[in-house]
Structure 1
């Protein structure tokens, strides 16, 4: 299967009540698309980063009560997992698609990465496009717009990554459900290539 885009039916999965019914919806409706994205995007990211990238589709295996509010495919240079490594993600909430570069709380190198970010803050300000967004918690849909951040606020985010044990940092773009369902296969290819191209310097800093 090749990835042709997302539909309203994909987003509707997150309004299914109950863990098992929603998990079934994820498996049948969304997971095949995430697998297709994994197959298609891994070679692109391998070329951009210079590392062989492997894809990991979220299984939500630890959930016993609460149904997932989002799902994703992650890309890392490790075959066995991604959470401890700098990685990229493409995924969905009920309201939007997210495309991230991510360093999440399991990563053991967060302090060193935060120090590198602080040293390169001027480069980051110039290389991250103004319409990109940041997140400080991958489990919440809230984002901070790049064009609303000044240098001091960026520094605060990077210091937080350095000093707070559970801190995370993600950078990328979100695309509203309405826009996402209207995009063609070609538009998705162009958008994903553009976003990952702009995020690769952050990966290389990590």
Structure 2
């Protein structure tokens, strides 16, 4: 299968009512694309990180009533799962595509990363592009652009992740769906690759 990018239909499946109907569409149309991106980027991320990286396509298996509002493929140095370790993600909400480096609440390394980021805040401000976004919660679609954040805002995010159990740290890009559907598969892959190149130093910290 070659990757031809995402369509409006891919984004609109998050409007389908009911768990079964939405999952059926997600499995038939979106999951093969995410699996393809998983196979494409796992070797590239292995080279960038110097570790063997495995792709994990979201299964949403625990859901019994509420249909998923987003879906993704995650990349981690653990074959069995990704939530416990710092990882990368490519995924979609109804409104946009996201590419993240993420340390979420399940990770025991969360506090350590918060401290490292706090210590290297100057380097982070210097190296992360102003168009990149930060989030403290992977369950919500909104994120804040680097250009709209002060040093104090960033510091607060890094401190919060050290003290609050549910706090998380995510950095990456959001691309509006209108832009995504205009991009070819190749353009999208190149853009994601550039994003990972920028995010890997955060992972290595």
- Could you state the TM-score of these two structures normalised by the residue count of structure 1? 0.98
Q: How does 1:1-206 map to 2 (within 5 A)?
A: 1-205=1-205
Question: How far apart are the structure 1 equivalents of 2:195 and 2:165?
Answer: 28
Q: Secondary structure at the match of 1:10?
A: helix
Cα deviation, residue 41, structure 1: 0.7
What is the deviation of 1:4?
1.7
Cα offset for 1:156? 0.5
> What secondary structure is seen at the aligned counterpart in 2 of 1:91?
strand
Q: Secondary structure of 1:88's partner?
A: strand
Q: Is the 8 A contact 2:73 2:91 kept in 1?
A: yes
Secondary structure in 1 aligned to 2:51? coil
179-188 or 79-88, larger mean C-alpha shift = 179-188
Give distance in 1, aligned partners of 2:31 and 2:88: 17
The separation in 2 between residues aligned to 1:110 and 1:2, in whole angstroms, is 36
Cα distance in 2 for residues equivalent to 1:6 and 1:81 = 26
2: distance between equivalents of 1:91 and 1:72? 4
Q: Figure out how many residues of one structure are paired with residues of the other and give that number.
A: 205
Segments of 5+ residues of structure 1 without an aligned counterpart are: none
Separation of aligned partners in 2, 1:18 and 1:149: 38
Q: Which runs of 4+ in 1 moved over 6 A?
A: none
Q: Distance in 2 between matches of 1:37 and 1:190?
A: 12
CA distance in 1, matches of 2:136, 2:158: 10
Q: What RMSD in Å do the two structures reach over aligned CA positions?
A: 0.7
**Structure 1 residue 113, shift from structure 2 partner:** 1.1
Structure 1 residue 2: Cα displacement: 2.5
| Structure 2 spans left out of the alignment, 5+ residues | none
Query: C-alpha offsets along residues 79-117 of structure 1, whole Å, 9 cap, x if unaligned?
Result: 000000000000000110000000000001111111111
Residue aligned with 2:131, SS: coil
